[in-house]
Amino acid sequence: MKDRFLVAGGARLSGAVKVSGAKNSVLKLMAAALLAEGTTTLHNCPEILDVPLMAEVLRGLGCEVVVDGSDVHITTPANLEADADFDAVRQFRASVCVLGPLTARCGRAKVALPGGDAIGSRPLDMHQTGLEKLGATTHIQHGCVVAEAGELHGAHIKLDFPSVGATENILTAAVLSKGTTTLDNAAREPEIVDLCQLLNEMGARITGAGSNTLTIEGVDRLHPAEHDVVGDRIVAGTWAYAVAMTQGDVTVGGISPKHLHLPLQKLRLAGAEVETYENGFRVVMDRRASAVDYQTLPFPGFPTDLQPMAIGLAAVADGMSVITENVFESRFRFVDEMLRLGADASVDGHHVVLRGQKQLSSTPVWSSDIRAGAGLVLAALCADGVTEVHDVYHIDRGYPHFVENLTALGAQVERVPGE
């Protein structure tokens, strides 16, 4: 937990890197395996800390889970435990995605309110309201969200905001409900499409994936399946912005460029050359980036998870950038650490204004969440001297083989074990 990275500035990233499955998908797919008795196998899983954490959550519910490199095998029993009230649940936000499957399979779920990244409030109101419209009762008790249902039934549900987590929990409960559920203003992220694909492979009847309206015809039971996890667009986007910041030349594989249309378009506006392929893209930057404005929005807008990378690029770009955060209110904690690195930045509500510097200055910095940690490493690549990045366990939760990949691309990054 006390490991740190030593990052030397001045490297120009070049070469090729391939991304694995998406963190924001694999954990939800693992939870979906609760819906069917038998063994579900997921391929192309990222080798990150959150996968074994989710495995512990599922084991606590009665599953057998084998994590074998990029393959995860989940054997779900006929009778599941309904209480997910243990330490593993509290460590990361994605654990709440067991709420929908447990309510559907067991008629009851008790899930400890999750922890995770320090990026702002993420209440469960829409999760609870959605389950209640399906026929469940919900309440918060002793630090846990509790849902109970004799029988779930189809309903028309409209989300106030296209919440990814609420969409996932409503989906995984509705697939075993009686009748038809219509979910309006649903999240459209590629990870939602991936979940719908797995559920349909398990025997669900879901249409509309990728649009803002999902229709779910309930079925009596699902069966286990074998599935390849969609590529991680956030990791791919991180590499893309690292190239632009270091004026490099890198080909990124294992990802559909359609999932990063707007982030790649922003790089083109900043002066990068971007070539796209069926399963990857290449970014070439041969000069200092031009300043570009950003605002985060749900997919297909600019991802909030790439906001720290946008700030990093703006910090070294030529000109002034305004970055607006519309999803999580506390994500600008990252800016405090960028100021330590010499960024010229000022925060005004949910906007941050940056005046780009030709070079940042090395200093010790601390990660507050997964993406902030990665963003600090990228910024350190643009600093003079060696920067110490602390609390890198956050990065380990979302980026497989991060140091090894950076090193292969030409960066000088060393992991120093904690004492």
Beta strands of 121-239 (E only): which ranges? 137-141, 144-148, 156-158, 180-184, 205-207, 213-217, 226-228
Cα–Cα dist 220/98, whole Å: 19
24 is in an annotated binding site: yes
Active site residue 117: yes
287 is in an annotated binding site: no
327 is in an annotated binding site: yes
Starting from the edge strand earliest in sequence, which strands make up the sheet with 351-355, in order?
294-295, 320-324, 351-355, 344-348
Point out the catalytic residue in the list 50, 68, 71, 117: 117
SS3 per-residue string spanning 286-350: CCCCECCCEEECCCCCECHHHHHHHHHHHHCCECEEEEECCCCCCCCHHHHHHHHCCCEEEEECC
221 is in an annotated binding site: no
Cα–Cα dist 169/81, whole Å: 18
268 is in an annotated binding site: no
Other beta carbons less than 10 A from residue 157's beta carbon: 24
What is the CB-side half-sphere exposure of residue 318 using CA atoms within 13 A? Answer: 9
Cα–Cα dist 96/146, whole Å: 11
Cα–Cα dist 11/234, whole Å: 22
Assign 406 to helix, strand or coil: helix
Provide the annotated active-site residues. 117
Q: Annotated binding site for phosphoenolpyruvate: which residue ranges?
A: 23-24
Q: Annotated binding site for UDP-N-acetyl-alpha-D-glucosamine: which residue ranges?
A: 93, 305, 327
Q: Annotated binding site: which residue ranges?
A: 23-24, 93, 305, 327
